[in-house]
């Protein structure tokens, strides 16, 4: 991953054109507006999955992203309904609060490695769900409902983003917003992975003790990476809550946290854009299999296992020369 070649830029342009122009046109032409919701979800879940991927990048299996998504969703919902703040202001605040919680939790639990970290992170989602049920401000099991839609953003008298309540096609608006956030997230990820910090992360993935021995402050780095990861989780969760206009303790559960991890695995842990592809395939695949009714879960899990057997290193590991090597 040295300097981006022209091919990279063309690929990026094609991707952006597809996401922001071609897909809305196709949906408008086919009239399947329900796809907007599906694709919006994919974009937001991909943001949260990106955070999980980042944790994999420093060699940690993070199965607790649902916790941070739930924190983000609640922070945004509480600020919008109780403090009547603009949603756009609460979005970064939700991310920052999730990151802050990550620092607090991370200081003790990031000392754990391997499956120990995986198991404790699996418990995190439960902790946040139970906390949301117990605290008065989160309104217990009833959750926070009828959250107003995001308002307008204007600077110097020019309206940059119109009030969502006035837009006819809110689905399209949410789709575009979510995709914009997703593009930003993955641009940040790409930048991060190719930065000095990214190199340090790779060295930690291979051997933490060795990284520490050459002067990397590993405790410091893993807190930073964990808080960035949780920031993404918080943003994704907050946006999700705003679209659903409600947040419940069951908005993100352990199964969601497991899915975030599966998205990364399926896309491929060695590729920055793996979580995006993984989320798209898993979420869309699940939706498409809906037609099989009661066999949906059977086929879905069967395909998942098959994918693991055939492509244990993720979908993006498909290369033309792979088949040559395997036939040897």
The residue ranges that bind another protein (CB under 8 A) are 56, 61, 105, 107-109, 111-116, 118-120, 122-123, 126-127, 130-131, 133-134, 254-255, 258, 261-262, 265-266, 269-270, 294-295, 297-298, 300-302, 304-305, 308-309, 312-313
Beta carbon of residue 224, minimum distance to another protein (angstroms, whole number): 19
CA-wise closest residue to 75 among 127, 128, 130, 124: 128
Beta carbon of residue 173, minimum distance to another protein (angstroms, whole number): 34
Q: Is 154 helix (H, G, I), strand (E, B) or coil?
A: strand
Report the distance separating Cα 293 and Cα 10, nearest Å.
41
Beta carbon of residue 304, minimum distance to another protein (angstroms, whole number): 4
Beta carbon of residue 220, minimum distance to another protein (angstroms, whole number): 17
Report the distance separating Cα 54 and Cα 198, nearest Å.
10
Report the distance separating Cα 176 and Cα 191, nearest Å.
22
In this complex, which beta carbon is closest to another protein, that of residue 76 or of residue 257?
Answer: 257
In this complex, which beta carbon is closest to another protein, that of residue 118 or of residue 153?
Answer: 118
In this complex, which beta carbon is closest to another protein, that of residue 156 or of residue 323?
Answer: 323
Beta carbon of residue 35, minimum distance to another protein (angstroms, whole number): 24
In this complex, which beta carbon is closest to another protein, that of residue 104 or of residue 158?
Answer: 104
Beta carbon of residue 162, minimum distance to another protein (angstroms, whole number): 42
Both tokens of residue 290?
């809906």
In this complex, which beta carbon is closest to another protein, that of residue 11 or of residue 114?
Answer: 114
Work out the burial of residue 84: count CB atoms within 10 Å of its CB; fewer than 13 is exposed, 13-18 middle, 19 or more buried.
Answer: exposed
In this complex, which beta carbon is closest to another protein, that of residue 167 or of residue 307?
Answer: 307
Instruction: Spell out a b/e string for 147-185, using b for 16 or more CB atoms within 10 Å of the CB, else e.
Output: bebbbeeeeeeeeeeeebeebeeebbbbbbbbbebbbeb
CA of residue 93 relative to chain centroid, distance:
17
């Amino acid at each position: 991953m040295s300097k981006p070649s022209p091919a990279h830029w063309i690929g990026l342009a094609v991707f952006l054109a597809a996401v922001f122009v071609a897909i809305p046109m196709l949906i408008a032409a086919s009239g399947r507006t329900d796809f907007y919701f599906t694709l919006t979800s994919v974009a937001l879940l991909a943001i949260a999955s990106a955070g999980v991927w980042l944790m994999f990048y420093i060699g940690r299996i993070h199965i607790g992203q649902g916790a941070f998504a739930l924190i983000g969703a609640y922070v945004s919902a509480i600020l919008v309904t109780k403090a009547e703040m603009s949603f756009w202001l609460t979005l970064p605040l939700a991310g920052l609060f999730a990151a802050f919680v990550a620092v607090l939790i991370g200081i003790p639990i990031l000392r754990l490695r391997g499956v120990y970290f995986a198991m404790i992170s699996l418990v995190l989602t439960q902790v946040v769900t139970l906390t949301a049920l117990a605290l008065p401000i989160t309104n217990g099991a009833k959750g926070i409902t009828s959250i107003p839609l995001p308002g307008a953003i204007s600077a110097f008298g020019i309206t940059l983003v119109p009030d969502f309540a006035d837009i006819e096609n809110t689905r399209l608006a949410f789709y575009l917003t979510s995709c914009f956030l997703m593009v930003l997230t993955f641009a940040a990820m790409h930048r991060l992975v190719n930065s000095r910090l990214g190199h340090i992360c790779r060295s930690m993935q291979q051997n933490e003790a060795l990284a520490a021995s050459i002067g990397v402050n590993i405790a410091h780095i893993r807190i930073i990476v964990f808080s960035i990861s949780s920031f993404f989780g918080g943003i994704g969760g907050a946006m999700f809550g705003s679209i659903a206009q409600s947040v419940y303790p069951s908005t993100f559960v352990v199964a969601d946290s497991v899915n975030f991890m599966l998205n990364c695995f399926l896309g491929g842990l060695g590729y920055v854009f793996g979580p995006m592809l993984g989320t798209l395939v898993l979420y869309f695949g699940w939706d498409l299999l809906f037609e099989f009714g009661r066999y949906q879960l059977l086929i879905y899990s069967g395909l998942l296992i098959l994918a693991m057997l055939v492509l244990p290193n993720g979908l993006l590991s498909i290369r033309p020369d792979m088949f040559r090597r395997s036939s040897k």
